Structure 1
């Protein structure tokens, strides 16, 4: 048998293909830059002619017709370790039934799309629960078993870092214990979820524009504010996960081993299973199909810093003055914010919350004006102008 060459040459650089040990006992294959002179010292000069040569790197995701060499380029997407094989996958299906519950068929479609159509854009999948022992992390580990080196588990800081080359060519970018509560985080992840091109950057190297096909999966113990989601947003699929009741009479380690052993049979099952849904939108699933109570709750409960400060001011006035109805102008809110040394906000941002988020409309007449001062006192006087009217009942709905 011909000895396998553990080196490649890409353009003018040499790399050694090595297996890096993992704490699990497994290993992962990586490319390590290797010195040409070292190769000659170890194997002789004639050995260089045997090393496979490529013009450059590419990243072409495919699980059913994988190619390591695409034209004259070396494919950095990895071949899956597991291949379809007929058998029993009842443990995996049992577990996925727990995760997706009434959306079980949609969940199977989601994984089938990842496997068969890796270039298809998909919604941002979020698994949330304030309770422990729900199986969120196990779900990520199951996908890691399937997609292996083509999936990465990131932290919040990894996602925010300018250096992103380690995850920019993965099909799944998962963040466990996610807390991306800044608006710029939300905007970035939304844009990436539907992006075709992406600026990849590594330390010490120039940024490169690459094709992007990554799908985001977020897990959080915070059900209401782990990420900013606008009311009209349609790119998120948020699932409330409940505690997992393992009825198979085995330990967590044994359960995970069952999942691992069933991966080939599960891939066979996916290939031979018909889609339950059709490709009816840019992200395959329609907004109606992936709308859940958890998504509605997240949209309803998420509030910006400005909105929280406005609610605090109005609540103070409602309670201090024992009101059932409160009238105020935008300048009244700005004045109270200023007196309390809060950050300055524009009229436009406050009006947007009052009109777009709270559904209020302005009236032009006389009203009783309330202003909070730094010492906590509240002034009260008659005023005239365009004001907004808010009942205590409506305030309680917004506040909750």
Structure 2
């Protein structure tokens, strides 16, 4: 597992001559702390496995005895009172470098109002819980709209700016990959343009949203079970079947996002500038809800027409698949109609009766 930390410095540690390099040892593995340039500017701090012999060649045989040593890694998410080291373990969860400061945040308020509409206070609760109670399970947030320029991606980028390296952007393929070490220790897993309309994708997503532990697998390394506290935020241009959601499912919070009235190219920068004031607000705000389920919210509070639309679309898909199967059976048996017990059909569609080729 590799931890990243974005720095605002415009010069890496080694610019301008041989600067003091940083090394640590975790368990029996030596790491060099490096500053890797980012395409978007600045640098990201990374741990790179290093070689003991190379260290001795560069610094002499006695230097290795002076580097910090830890028994292993841990992942303890905290935003207030963050601890980089807990006991003899190095915390893989990244600190956020925002300092809460009293002030106003009109752009962030506008974004939350646009994204959550009549559920504005619930949206504020969601963001507050992410900040103050990062291990609390929360519903899978799904933002949908067939229209362009709705601000869905802006909301994801705001979450990234807010929680920094504790947010990872995934693709649809990432959910199907057996290698998942880059998810480890993240607060939020976000996907733009999600399309997970296979049953196995849906089941995996639901299981991940509620599981307490998770098996991490990286190339060339043994699987390791860790605590899992990540939340999922998904965006899609498909309002009807971006993921499979069955009737009675309570793990999704689906919001239909309307088109923005104007396109402000500086909006994200204003959002970033308001984060200290927003965090001060969240620290002192009283939650509008109390914990009523494993995902905090009472499911009835999160019921939306956008959710119902996806459930109806999934039911229609099942009806089509069932009809195609019955037509194949009828063709094979050379009959004009076939009858099924009401209970069999009703289990899938809520209907029952006779199917005819007419």
Query: TM exceeds 0.5?
Result: yes
**Larger mean Cα displacement after TM superposition, 129-138 or 301-310:** 301-310
Q: Kindly tell me the number of residue pairs found equivalent between the two proteins.
A: 335
1:360 matched to 2:351? The reply is yes
Aligned counterpart for 1:283 among listed residues 281, 295, 298: 295
1:228 matched to 2:244? The reply is yes
Q: Secondary structure at 2:163's aligned position in 1? A: helix
- By how many angstroms is 1:33 displaced? 0.8
Matched with 1:218 is 234
Alpha-carbon distance in 2 for matches of 1:4, 1:221: 49
Alpha-carbon distance in 2 for matches of 1:275, 1:305: 39
Q: Secondary structure at 1:210's aligned position in 2? A: strand
Aligned counterpart for 1:262 among listed residues 274, 291, 298: 274
Residues 343-382 of structure 1 show CA distances to partners (whole Å, capped at 9, x for unaligned) of xxxx89x964x213433356xxxx8x84x4xxxxx6xxxx
Q: Relative to 1, partners in 2 of residues 1:86 and 1:335: Cα closer, same or farther, differing over 3 Å?
A: same
| TM-score, L = length of structure 1 | 0.79
**Larger mean Cα displacement after TM superposition, 87-96 or 233-242:** 87-96
1:42 matched to 2:58? The reply is yes
- By how many angstroms is 1:35 displaced? 1.4
Contact in 2 for aligned 1:165/1:200 (Cα 8 Å): yes
1:6 matched to 2:22? The reply is yes
- By how many angstroms is 1:306 displaced? 5.0
Matched with 1:108 is 124
Q: Relative to 1, partners in 2 of residues 1:223 and 1:339: Cα closer, same or farther, differing over 3 Å?
A: farther
- By how many angstroms is 1:130 displaced? 0.3
- By how many angstroms is 1:278 displaced? 0.8
Alpha-carbon distance in 1 for matches of 2:126, 2:217: 29
- By how many angstroms is 1:118 displaced? 0.6
Residues 1-400 of structure 1 mapped to structure 2, 5 A cutoff: 6-246=22-262, 251-252=264-265, 254-303=266-315, 307-311=319-323, 333=327, 335-336=329-330, 338=332, 352=344, 354-361=345-352, 370=356, 372=357
Alpha-carbon distance in 1 for matches of 2:286, 2:20: 40
Q: Relative to 1, partners in 2 of residues 1:107 and 1:36: Cα closer, same or farther, differing over 3 Å?
A: same
Residues 311-340 of structure 1 show CA distances to partners (whole Å, capped at 9, x for unaligned) of 468xxxxxxxxxxxxxxxxxx656236579
Q: For CA contacts below 8 A with separation 6 or more, give which structure has more relative contact order.
A: 2
CA RMSD of aligned residues (A): 2.3
- By how many angstroms is 1:305 displaced? 5.6
Which has the higher Rg, Structure 1 or Structure 2?
1
Q: Secondary structure at 2:274's aligned position in 1? A: helix
Alpha-carbon distance in 2 for matches of 1:304, 1:188: 22
Matched with 1:327 is none
| TM-score, L = length of structure 2 | 0.87
Q: Relative to 1, partners in 2 of residues 1:337 and 1:202: Cα closer, same or farther, differing over 3 Å?
A: farther
Residues 100-145 of structure 1 show CA distances to partners (whole Å, capped at 9, x for unaligned) of 1111111111011011001101000000000010011110000000
Alpha-carbon distance in 2 for matches of 1:168, 1:308: 39
Q: Relative to 1, partners in 2 of residues 1:245 and 1:339: Cα closer, same or farther, differing over 3 Å?
A: farther
Gaps of 5+ in 2: 1-18, 335-339
Contact in 2 for aligned 1:173/1:217 (Cα 8 Å): yes
Residues 69-109 of structure 1 show CA distances to partners (whole Å, capped at 9, x for unaligned) of 11111111111121212222111111111111111111111
- By how many angstroms is 1:36 displaced? 1.6
Gaps of 5+ in 1: 314-331, 341-346, 373-377, 379-400
